[in-house]
């Protein structure tokens, strides 16, 4: 993280998101400020909190993707939640503190994966030896020659490492994992392992069962089992809580849906304001109790976003507005933006369809005029009907390539060139004048 300047962060975001420079710069500065804060004295560090960001823009223009890619750049714990999923305290539904509990779970998984990678070589070595001992009796029965156990073990080890035995099924004894009982979502932990508690009381905690697995599945299972033994679970939880607290990113989507619409102050809008007031302490900074321990939310970066096509940013309660000092407005996508989205990003739409059809041995090629025409159709549809942003491209592409995708297995033509004539044939002028509602995903 310390090697990434704001300009470099924007360059990383440019690999996946077209345009929206103002939003990219805002999140890049917020990210760099975290690093700057980490280099200050503890006294000063406690005084500096993240400057939360509020994004306004229609669906499909990159709001969620900017926040998600931002978190990936620095490997920060990240959760995306819809504000509409939450209800005011006292009503049935999720409480806002579950956002932070989810963030802690994500952080624990991240730290655990990192620790598992560190011990992977040792865990793999032990798992291979254990697997050899399980398969050895089977190999002895099938072996007609006069080989020693040491030679057979050596052969098995080579075969396992080469993947020659991956599809063979074996039976192995594994420890039974009781399923935790789910509690009310408002409960702090969310779930409790009553089966395990009862089993331990009556001395049945280590129950085992025989499972039939392929050699590959058994290998993965054993590596995971050995890794669990090698890592310090308490240290993982401690580091995960610290990382969620200092580096966590929460993306609050659909924030405009809990804002009271202008001129409406009755009915269900009262509950909307209640949700905002419940979100407020989390964003301002409070202590949340999780099943892994307590966590402060003071230094978590919150990025809120919404279309605000019915309500306005000013319709949020003033206290909540004050906790999102940085506001950016994302632009509608233009026809030239669609052309770039089709071609440039690392996960470009055309690259995705080429890869999908490549599985069936079909080579898909697009001419420049075809790409321009696809972008034009998507832009016109967004102008004439609901503005779906970049998601409109998926609707257009699915309709354009419907026959190709359907006949890919049977089609003898393994090279398909999509030019302007192909686009005109499959997406005629009549379709451009009607809406694409039945193709919207």
Question: pLDDT at position 227, please?
Answer: 93
Q: Name the β-bridge partners of 333.
A: none
Residues 81 and 125 in one domain: no
Residues 213 and 245 in one domain: no
Q: Which of 180-194, 262-276, 344-358 has the lowest mean pLDDT?
A: 180-194
Cα separation, 53 vs 26, in Å, equals 8
Domain boundaries, position 353: 335-439
- To 5 degrees, how large is the angle CA 402–CA 404–CA 405? 65
| Mean pLDDT score, 232-258 | 91
Residue finishing a domain among 238, 267, 283: 238
Cα separation, 113 vs 359, in Å, equals 30
- The pLDDT confidence band at residue 430, using thresholds 50, 70 and 90, is very low
Residue finishing a domain among 304, 329, 354: 329
Helical packing angle, 349-358 and 391-400, nearest 10° = 40
CA distances from 26 to 4, 50, 105, 325 (A): 15, 12, 27, 11
Residue 268 has pLDDT above 50, yes or no: no
| Mean pLDDT score, 256-284 | 72
Evaluate if pTM is beyond 0.95: no
E strand residue ranges, 269-380: 287-290, 293-296, 301-306, 326-329, 363-366
Residues 117 and 225 in one domain: yes
Question: pLDDT at position 198, please?
Answer: 53
- To 5 degrees, how large is the angle CA 398–CA 407–CA 365? 60
Residues 366 and 384 in one domain: yes
Residue 122 has pLDDT above 90, yes or no: yes
Residues 125 and 229 in one domain: yes
Tokens describing residue 57: 């823009």
CA distances from 400 to 204, 344, 389, 425, 426 (A): 60, 20, 18, 9, 6
Residue 348 has pLDDT above 70, yes or no: yes
List the CATH number of the domain containing 381: 1.10.8.60
Residues 245 and 97 in one domain: yes
| Mean pLDDT score, 169-190 | 61
Number of domains in the chain: 3
Q: Is residue 382 part of a domain?
A: yes
Residue 186 has pLDDT above 70, yes or no: no
Residues 115 and 100 in one domain: no
Question: pLDDT at position 243, please?
Answer: 92
Residue finishing a domain among 278, 294, 329: 329
CB contact set of 327 (below 8 Å; sequence gap of 6+): 53, 54, 55, 56, 313
Q: Is residue 223 part of a domain?
A: yes
Cα separation, 205 vs 221, in Å, equals 20
Convert the pLDDT of each residue in 1-59 to its tens digit.
Answer: 456 888 998 999 999 998 889 999 998 898 888 888 888 998 998 888 888 999 998 88
Q: Which of 50-64, 296-310, 425-439 has the lowest mean pLDDT?
A: 425-439
Neighbours of 360 (CB within 10 A): 14
Task: Name which of 396, 404, 407, 402 is nearest 431 in CA terms.
Answer: 396
Question: pLDDT at position 94, please?
Answer: 72
User: Exposure of 269 by Cβ count < 10 A (0-12 exposed, 13-18 middle, 19+ buried)?
Assistant: middle
Question: pLDDT at position 187, please?
Answer: 47
Q: Which residue is listed with tokens 């405009």?
A: 256
Convert the pLDDT of each residue in 129-171 to its tens digit.
Answer: 988 888 888 888 877 667 788 888 888 888 888 888 888 888 8
Q: Which of 126-130, 266-270, 280-284 has the lowest mean pLDDT?
A: 266-270
Q: Is residue 218 part of a domain?
A: yes
Residues 126 and 220 in one domain: yes
Q: Which helix (H) or strand (E) is 10 found in, with range?
A: helix 6-14
Grouping H, G, I as helix, E, B as strand and the rest as coil, residue 412 is coil
| Mean pLDDT score, 411-423 | 83
Residue 267 has pLDDT above 80, yes or no: no
Task: Name which of 364, 316, 318, 360 is nearest 342 in CA terms.
Answer: 364
Q: Which of 12-26, 203-217, 312-326, 413-427 has the lowest mean pLDDT?
A: 203-217
Q: Is residue 77 part of a domain?
A: yes
Question: pLDDT at position 427, please?
Answer: 81
Q: Is residue 341 part of a domain?
A: yes
Q: Is residue 1 part of a domain?
A: no
Convert the pLDDT of each residue in 66-117 to its tens digit.
Answer: 888 887 887 889 998 888 887 655 455 577 888 999 999 999 999 999 999 9
Residues 318 and 291 in one domain: yes
**pLDDT, averaged across the chain:** 82
Residues 349 and 412 in one domain: yes
Q: Are strands 78-82 and 249-253 parallel, antiparallel or unpaired?
A: parallel
Residues 300 and 316 in one domain: yes
List the CATH number of the domain containing 315: 3.40.50.300
Q: Is residue 185 part of a domain?
A: yes
Residues 344 and 434 in one domain: yes
- The pLDDT confidence band at residue 428, using thresholds 50, 70 and 90, is low
Grouping H, G, I as helix, E, B as strand and the rest as coil, residue 396 is helix
């Amino acid at each position: 993280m310390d090697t990434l300047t704001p300009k470099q962060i924007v360059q990383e975001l440019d690999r996946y998101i077209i345009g929206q420079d103002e939003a990219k710069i805002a999140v890049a500065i917020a990210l760099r400020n975290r690093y700057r804060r980490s280099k200050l004295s503890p006294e000063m560090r406690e005084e500096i909190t993240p400057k939360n960001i509020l994004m306004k823009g229609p669906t499909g223009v990159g709001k969620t993707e900017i926040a998600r890619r931002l978190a990936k750049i620095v490997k920060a714990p990240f959760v995306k939640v819809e504000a509409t999923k939450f209800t005011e305290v006292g009503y049935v539904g999720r409480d806002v503190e579950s956002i932070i509990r989810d963030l802690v779970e994500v952080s624990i998984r991240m730290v655990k994966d990192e620790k598992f990678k560190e011990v992977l070589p040792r865990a793999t070595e032990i798992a291979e030896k254990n697997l050899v001992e399980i398969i050895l009796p089977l190999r002895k029965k099938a072996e007609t020659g006069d080989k020693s156990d040491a030679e057979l073990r050596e052969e098995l080890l080579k075969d396992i490492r080469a993947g020659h035995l991956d599809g063979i099924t074996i039976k192995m004894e594994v420890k039974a994992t009781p399923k935790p009982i789910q509690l009310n979502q408002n409960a702090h932990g969310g779930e409790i392992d009553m089966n395990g508690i009862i089993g331990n009381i009556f001395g049945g905690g280590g129950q085992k069962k025989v499972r039939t697995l392929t050699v590959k599945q058994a290998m993965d299972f054993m590596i995971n089992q050995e890794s669990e033994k090698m890592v310090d679970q308490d240290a993982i939880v401690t580091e995960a809580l610290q990382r969620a607290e200092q580096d966590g990113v929460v993306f609050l989507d659909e924030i405009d849906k809990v804002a009271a619409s202008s001129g409406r102050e009755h009915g269900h809008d009262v509950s909307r304001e209640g949700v905002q007031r419940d979100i407020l302490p989390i964003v301002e900074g409070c202590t949340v109790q999780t099943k892994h321990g307590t966590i402060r939310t003071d230094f978590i970066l919150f990025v809120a976003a919404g279309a605000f096509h019915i309500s306005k940013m000013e319709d949020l309660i003033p206290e909540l507005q004050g906790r999102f000092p940085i506001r950016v407005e994302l632009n509608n996508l233009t026809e030239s933006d669609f052309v770039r989205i089709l071609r440039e990003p690392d996960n470009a739409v055309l690259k995705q369809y080429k890869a999908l059809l490549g599985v069936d041995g079909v080579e898909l090629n697009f001419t420049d005029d075809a790409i321009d025409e696809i972008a034009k159709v998507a832009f016109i549809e967004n102008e004439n009907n609901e503005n779906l942003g970049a998601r409109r491209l998926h609707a257009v592409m699915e309709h354009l390539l419907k026959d190709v995708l359907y006949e890919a297995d049977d089609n003898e033509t393994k090279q398909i060139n999509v030019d302007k004539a192909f686009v005109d044939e499959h997406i005629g002028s009549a379709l451009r004048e009607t809406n694409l509602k039945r193709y919207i995903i």
